[in-house]
Amino acid sequence: MKLNIAVLAGDGIGPEISVQGVAVMKAVCKKFNHSVTFKEAVCGADAIEKVGDPFPQETFEICREADAVLFSAVGDPKFDNDPTAKVRPEQGLLAMRKKLGLFANIRPVQTFKCLVHNSPLKSDIVDGADFICIRELTGGMYFGEKYQDDNKAFDTNLYTRHEVERILKVAFEYALKRRKHLTVVDKANVLASSRLWRKIAQEMAPLYPEVNTDYMYVDNAAMKMIQDPRFFDVIVTENTFGDILTDEGSCISGSMGLLPSASTGTGTPVFEPIHGSWPQAKGKNIANPIAQILSVAMLFEYFNLMDEGEIIRNAVNASLDANIRTPEIQVNGGATYGTREVGEWIVKYIKTH
């Protein structure tokens, strides 16, 4: 296969982990005889500094023409502490999602056997947890009409039937491929937008008779996720609830540095770690590259290249088992490895297995 990849490294630790993702992708393509080309483009604070726009037109065009985007992270504390800033790095991310039509954000939560002790939750609660959050990504309050003056402000949580149907379809299809249990998370006891979601989900559920569909209010789901994470298989929810629940879910694994995600829809799909730009660690060679590397696995799997995805997953598991780990997940007294060393170990594993 021929793959053209847009590489958006962004800010903070983005460039360091991006290098490792690209190296893994090259190694896998070489092994399986795929030809791959990479085109780098700027985004986030880096792009604001260089061209004054967090998602410039040129970057958009590079993404649009690519088969997939390998994205790292955006964000810079300079902007977080300035509520008057006219442009922010995060706007680049939102613009990318909207312009590429990425309405479905897929965030898998899995535990790694050798890391369950690292979770803030008791290991017998998290051991074996394995679920996917499907978050709607281009609607709701993020993009609805907004207003702000000194005395009043609002955001509009608008959803249309079309938006709800297409994300639910993605969710039902994921459930069919997994343990066939779909949980629709909403706040239908209070919100009109949620009542529409639930109505449409109830209309669609009979089309997927093999799927056991249930409904849960978001406050209850937040509780259930830490009380009994193994309950879940596929969760589907709106943009804002999904933002919050996926941060909660990411803790279950024991390190945010392990979890990848995919954003798919009508345009070029984007693969990225779920963690942010961790500016304090920039340039220190301490960030875990695994979330980025597993994003590459998701990229291959998106194109149905399952063996390619599998060798990456095997390599990552082998590195964890061999204790080739960045500091945040190293066992007491164990040697620690840097971003680069972990990445290089994984590349070597791929080349030799």
- Tell which one of 3, 25, 62, 93 touches ligand IPM (CB under 6 A): 93
127 counts as catalytic:
no
Positions in 227-266 near Mn ion (CB under 5 A): 243
Strands 130-136 and 234-237: parallel
Q: What is the Cα–Cα distance from 201 to 213, expressed in whole angstroms?
A: 9
Q: Interface with ligand IPM includes 90 (CB under 6 A)? A: yes
Q: At 324, give phi and psi (nearest 5°).
A: -85, 85
| C-beta of 142 vs 300, nearer to Mn ion | 142
Per the CB < 8 A criterion, the answer to whether 30 and 21 are in contact is no
91-95 contacts at long range (C-beta below 8 A, 24 or more positions apart): 91/54, 91/55, 92/43, 92/44, 92/47, 92/48, 92/53, 92/54, 92/55, 93/43, 93/44, 93/54, 93/55, 94/142, 94/143, 95/54, 95/55, 95/60
| C-beta of 258 vs 311, nearer to Mn ion | 258
CB of 315 to Mn ion, least distance (A): 28
Q: What is the Cα–Cα distance from 313 to 299, expressed in whole angstroms?
A: 12
122 counts as catalytic:
no
Q: Residue 83: in which H helix or E strand, if any? A: none
Residue at shortest CB range from ligand IPM: 90
Residue 106 binding partner per list Mn ion, ligand IPM, none, with a CB distance cut-off of 5 to 8 Å that depends on partner kind = none
243 counts as catalytic:
yes
Give the ranges where the chain is alpha helix by DSSP (H): 14-31, 44-51, 57-65, 77-80, 89-99, 123-126, 161-177, 192-204, 218-227, 239-252, 290-302, 306-321, 339-352
CB of 342 to ligand IPM, least distance (A): 23
Q: Pick the catalytic residue from 11, 159, 187, 233.
A: 187
CB of 310 to Mn ion, least distance (A): 28
CB of 274 to ligand IPM, least distance (A): 7
186 counts as catalytic:
no
Neighbouring C-beta atoms of residue 92, cutoff 10 Å? 27
Q: Pick the catalytic residue from 39, 243, 282, 302.
A: 243
Residue 93 binding partner per list ligand IPM, Mn ion, none, with a CB distance cut-off of 5 to 8 Å that depends on partner kind = ligand IPM
Q: Pick the catalytic residue from 80, 82, 214, 219.
A: 219
Positions in 231-250 near ligand IPM (CB under 6 A): 243
| C-beta of 92 vs 350, nearer to ligand IPM | 92
Q: Interface with ligand IPM includes 155 (CB under 6 A)? A: no
Which spans of this chain sit near ligand IPM (rule: CB under 6 A)? Answer: 90, 93, 243
Which spans of this chain sit near Mn ion (rule: CB under 5 A)? Answer: 243
| Residues classed as catalytic | 142, 187, 219, 243, 247
